[in-house]
């Protein structure tokens, strides 16, 4: 197994014995697709290059290489180097390539086992829950089955993850809030002024009472 990050260039090698009559081929198998021919060469030294925008196959001393330019997640699959001679075919090299994307936003996967026992030949449905930290993202989820050293992928399901929009205040609600705040301030100021006025009036009456009380005895003496 070979694991690489997306956009990374990948080189796979296959041993080659110079001078032999066998031919070598690179193919890949991706679940849900037909086997794909990527390039081939002769057993003897050959300078020919099989090149596409994404793949390049060519000979190097003692090896037959496959270059993948800027690998994509969709390049994940099984890659085989096959040797053929007349009607015989053998697998010289097998590599499972796993291309990883950016750091996953999936925080957990919960899988519940079947509640009932399963017997050979019976069909069974498996379910799992995917916990994602992403607020808004479009992704494709694949069902993968690992068995006997091979990994098989399903067709995939496209999933749109959208976060809940936070409700924003309308212009009418904002204006109403401003009016309420202004009204509260106005009432507070009015109460304060009334209280201050009453306090002043109460102090003035007390002063006049004391003034009359002091002057009254003097006037009686005179």
Compare 176 and 207 and report the one with higher pLDDT.
Answer: 176
pLDDT at 114: 65
- Pairing outcome for strands 63-68 and 10-15: antiparallel
pLDDT at 104: 58
Number of domains comprising the chain:
1
Domain contains 110: no
Domain contains 154: no
Domain contains 26: yes
pLDDT at 221: 44
Say what percent of the chain tops pLDDT 90. 23
Q: Measured between alpha carbons, how far is 98 from 4 in angstroms, rounded to an integer?
A: 6
Q: Could you report the per-residue pLDDT of 138-148, keeping only the tens digit for each?
A: 666 666 666 65
What pTM was computed for the model? 0.48
Q: Measured between alpha carbons, how far is 167 from 100 in angstroms, rounded to an integer?
A: 37
Domain contains 200: no
Q: Is 216 helix (H, G, I), strand (E, B) or coil?
A: helix
pLDDT at 78: 92
Q: Which of 119, 111, 42, 28 is nearest to 77 (CA)?
A: 28
Domain contains 67: yes
Domain contains 79: yes
- Residue 94 structural domain: 2-100
Domain contains 218: no
pLDDT at 214: 46
* Backbone angles phi and psi of 158, in degrees to 5: -80, 130
Query: Band of the pLDDT at 182, cuts 50, 70, 90?
Result: confident
Q: Measured between alpha carbons, how far is 48 from 57 in angstroms, rounded to an integer?
A: 9
What average pLDDT does range 77-83 have in this prediction? Answer: 93
Tokens 């309420």 -> residue? 180
Residue 70 belongs to domain with CATH number = 2.60.40.10
Q: Could you report the per-residue pLDDT of 65-75, keeping only the tens digit for each?
A: 999 999 999 89
Average pLDDT in the chain: 75
Least confident of 33-42, 52-61, 82-91, 167-176: 167-176
Distance, CA of 21 to chain centre = 50
């Amino acid at each position: 197994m070979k694991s690489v990050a997306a956009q990374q260039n990948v080189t796979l090698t296959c041993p080659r014995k110079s001078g032999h009559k066998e031919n070598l081929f690179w193919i890949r198998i991706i679940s849900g697709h037909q086997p794909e021919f990527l390039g081939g060469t002769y057993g003897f030294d050959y300078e020919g290059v099989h090149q596409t925008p994404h793949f390049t196959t060519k000979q190097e001393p003692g090896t037959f290489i496959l270059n993948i330019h800027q690998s994509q997640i969709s390049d994940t699959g099984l890659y085989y180097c096959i040797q053929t001679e007349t009607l015989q075919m053998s697998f010289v090299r097998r590599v499972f390539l796993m291309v990883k994307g950016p750091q996953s936003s999936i925080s957990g996967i919960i899988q519940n086992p079947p509640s009932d026992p399963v017997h050979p030949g019976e069909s069974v449905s498996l379910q799992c829950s995917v916990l994602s930290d992403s607020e808004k993202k479009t992704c494709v989820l694949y069902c993968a089955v690992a068995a006997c050293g091979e990994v098989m992928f399903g067709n995939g399901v496209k999933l749109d993850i959208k976060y809940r929009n936070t409700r924003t205040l309308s212009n009418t609600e904002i204006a109403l809030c401003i009016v309420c705040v202004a009204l509260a301030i106005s009432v507070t100021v009015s109460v304060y002024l009334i209280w201050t006025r009453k306090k002043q009036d109460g102090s003035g009456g007390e002063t006049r009472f004391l003034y009359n009380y002091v002057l009254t005895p003097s006037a009686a003496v005179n």
